[in-house]
Amino acid sequence: MSNGDCLVSQAVSSSNSDVYCVKWNGASCTTCASGFFLSQTGKCQQADPLCKTLNQVTGICVECYQGYVLNSNSCVIPVIVQIPFCQTTSAAGTCVECIDNYYLKNSNSCTPVSILCGGKYNKVTGQCTGCTEGYFLQGGECIYPAMGIDPACEKYSAGGFCDKCSLGFYLLSFKCTQIDNYCTKFEYTTSTCTECYNKKPQGAGCV
């Protein structure tokens, strides 16, 4: 106090001169204002203005504001990579969703789905869940039956011929043929009926 007036101590004003310090411990700053961090020199240093969340101890940014991404502890505008046939990209520039009739094979590649799927496919695997008319769905692929679609065929070969028929049918010249209604026991390996009801077996049928 001098002549009735209060004066700031010269010792205090010189030692506590960091205007961005909000908390002191004697002559040492312990907490800096928002957007600043305590450097190794004991001074409040401004952080990256694009940084949303800052590690107050190390000064390293841990989260950026929306529209920016972390790159070597700095907030930068993400590099937008044009990925063909990608509908939606992430902030990091990777693809998260492809346009219709394409599926995401990896984060940077949209792969076309078979046109034989007719727009029916698994968006994760790209496998068909349905087929265009005239094709048969088998193991996620659409196969063209060499002899036309056989309603009783359960499995086709790679060449498009029927390999396996539904219960009650047997293969005859690559086509599923219904087993004789009187046949009670049928040998599929030889395509012959071995037992009949009130009749005698003969070849694939009963007489």
Q: Of 176, 179, 173, 175, which is closest to residue 192 (Cα–Cα)?
A: 179
Q: Would you state the pLDDT for residue 10?
A: 37
Give the pLDDT mean for 46-51.
Answer: 89
Report how far residue 64's alpha carbon sits from residue 16's, in angstroms, rounded to the nearest whole number: 31
Give the pLDDT band of residue 4 (cuts 50, 70, 90). Answer: low
Average pLDDT over residues 133-146: 90
Longest CA pairwise span in the chain (Å): 135
Confidence check: pLDDT of 9 > 70: no
Q: What is the pLDDT of residues 97-112, one digit of tens each?
A: 999 999 998 878 899 9
Do residues 124 and 103 make contact, with C-beta atoms less than 8 angstroms apart?
yes
What is the identity of the amino acid at 34? Answer: S
Residue burial 2-18, b: 16+ Cβ < 10 Å; e: rest: eeeeeeeeeeeeeebeb
18, two tokens? 């960091």
Task: Tally Cβ neighbours within 10 Å of residue 184.
Answer: 16
Q: What does the pLDDT average to over 54-61?
A: 84
Kindly report the pTM of this predicted structure.
Answer: 0.49
> What is the dihedral sign for C-alpha 139, 145, 151, 157?
negative
Question: Does 57 have pLDDT greater than 90?
Answer: no
Q: State the average pLDDT for the chain.
A: 85
